[in-house]
Amino acid sequence: MAENRQNRSRRDFLKRLGWGGASAVGIMAMSPLGAFGKPEEQADPAKMTIRENRRTGDKVSLLGYGMMRLPTNNRAINQDMVNQEIDYALAHGVNYFDTAPIYHGGHSEEATGIALSRHPRDKYFVATKLSNFGRDQWNLESAKKMYQRSMELLKVDYIDYYLLHNVGGKGTDDFKARFEDSGIMEFVQQERKAGRIRNLGFSFHGSVETFDYLIDNNDDFEWDFVQIQMNYIDWRHADARRGNTDAEYLYNKLEKAGIQCVIMEPLLGGRLAKVPEDVQNMMMEVRPSDSPARWAFRWVGSHPNVLTVLSGMTSMEVLQENVGTFAPLDACSESENTLMAKIADKMNGVPVIPCTYCKYCMPCGFGLNIPENFALYNKAVTDGVLPLPDKTAPDYQQRLADVNKIFQKGLNKKQWATKCTDCEACLPKCPQHIRIPNQMGRIAEILRKR
């Protein structure tokens, strides 16, 4: 079956389904207008670096659009802005869009479907996931419902890249119970055979043992791709966080197995977009005008077994900057890779909380904004305010006041870590294996010192 899929071109695929060219759903000519409705004179999709899917022949843009966080207006998704950003992305060669039933409070698939269905179906690849996290959803009926709902919301009759979502965190036995014993694995494989899933994969956060099980048994699973967390810190330092596997191991194993990877968290939840000043200086010595984010993207995109690099781009500015980085990608030289390894070692010693802002832990039943508490704490670390010095240090009180100011400015007090009840409901939900209540306790202690 793998051999057949390998030889299947997109055109053959569509012909086989009897659709000829484009899907009957949502056919509309590509808008000649660029962002903000102005004519897009400079758009040149040909500049985008493209990677070929070795199984299906898909020509995938190396920059992929992550639809986890979307632009908002008074807390509601700003659909006009989503449409404009997707139009801009497509006009500049970005053609891979990654969503999930749980993204953006459960509304991402719908917003993505509205925006993408304004374009011809063969101009984009859409990825979504089976986010059956709760044990009550580990059954075929729930999985089918979720899968069909994704199709409806995305307004498609086939899904280009379908992932078993967030696999590995709770070990191999949980994977077996969730997907194999439930009959879900067999179902998605049948859907792939029928052509309604074009590529089947999984997104991974977990231990070496579970990853080995999934890849060593690839004769049974026949994964078309795998989504992994990879950036220059996680390359060799993910293992330091209990329950995670270094990206170097994941990447190399996939490369050996001939499975291409999709990259998530290339900026480690935004942490690599704003690095400590001494690290930024190291980067600027080599490339004075490049941002830390550009360095991180160039590093990850330089790996040849990467099919696409996902970036959540919530504003037009970020989208434009990222398009500039990937159209085309200027691969890192050997000496630049050495520099990034040095920087990774250095940054690994910076005591930030490894939150990627995925929001899987939300909502908190007590109204806390968990990722924002961690983001503000990390900002204080990156700004050099935390960790606090010894109580006797002359700047101790000032630094306490500065931490408080950062929290006052960034978050309503009702959502502060000081309100955490230690209920532990969030504990099993974090793919980064952060002991959330403990970290909340640490932050609360600092905030209460004033």
Q: Which residues bind ligand SF4 (CB under 6 A)?
A: 355-361, 364-366, 368, 370-371, 374, 420-426, 429-430, 432, 434, 436-437, 440
User: In the complex, what is the shortest distance from the CB of residue 175 to ligand SF4, in angstroms, rounded to a whole number?
Assistant: 19
Q: Please identify, using beta-carbon distances, which residue of 95 and 373 lies nearer to ligand SF4.
A: 373
Rounded to a whole number of angstroms, the minimum distance from the CB of residue 362 to ligand SF4 is 7
Beta-carbon contacts of 364 under 8 Å, excluding residues fewer than 6 positions away, are: 370, 425, 426
- CA neighbor of 36 nearest in space, from 320, 305, 230, 293: 320
Residue 166 one-letter amino acid:
N
Nearer to ligand SF4, 89 or 355 (CB): 355
The answer to whether 307 and 60 have CB atoms below 8 angstroms apart is yes
Nearer to ligand SF4, 184 or 443 (CB): 443
Question: Backbone phi, then psi, for 125, in 5-degree steps?
Answer: -110, 130
- Cβ distance to ligand SF4 smaller for residue 278 or 422: 422
- Separation between Cα atoms, residue 203 and residue 427, nearest integer Å: 20
DSSP SS3 for 329:
strand
Strand 50-52 with 59-61, pairing: antiparallel
Check if the beta carbon of residue 217 is closer than 8 Å to that of residue 176.
no
How distant, in Å, are the alpha carbons of 116, 390, 398 from that of 394?
57, 9, 8
> Residue 356 Cβ, how far from ligand SF4 at the closest point, in Å?
5
Cβ proximity to ligand SF4: between 104 and 359 the closer is 359
Q: Take residue 450 and report the two structure tokens written for it.
A: 């004033």
406 or 425: CB nearest ligand SF4: 425
Least distance between ligand SF4 and beta carbon 192 (Å): 29
Distance in Å, CB of 375 to ligand SF4, minimum: 9
Q: Which of these, 99, 172, 96, 171, lies nearest to 130 by C-alpha position?
A: 99
Q: What is the DSSP string of 123-173?
A: G-EEEEEE---SGGG-SHHHHHHHHHHHHHHHT-SSEEEEEEEEESTT-HH
CB of 103: closest distance to ligand SF4 in angstroms?
12
> What b/e sequence results for 301-335 when a residue is b if at least 16 CB atoms lie within 10 Å of its CB, and e otherwise?
bbbeebbbbbbbbbeeeebebbbebbbebeebeee
Q: How far is the CB of 269 from ligand SF4 (least distance, A)?
A: 7
CA–CA separation, 388 and 368 (whole Å) = 24
In the complex with ligand SF4, the residue whose CB is nearer, 64 or 431, is 431
Instruction: For ligand SF4, give the closer residue by CB, 163 or 361.
Output: 361
**Min dist. Cβ of residue 426 to ligand SF4 (A):** 3
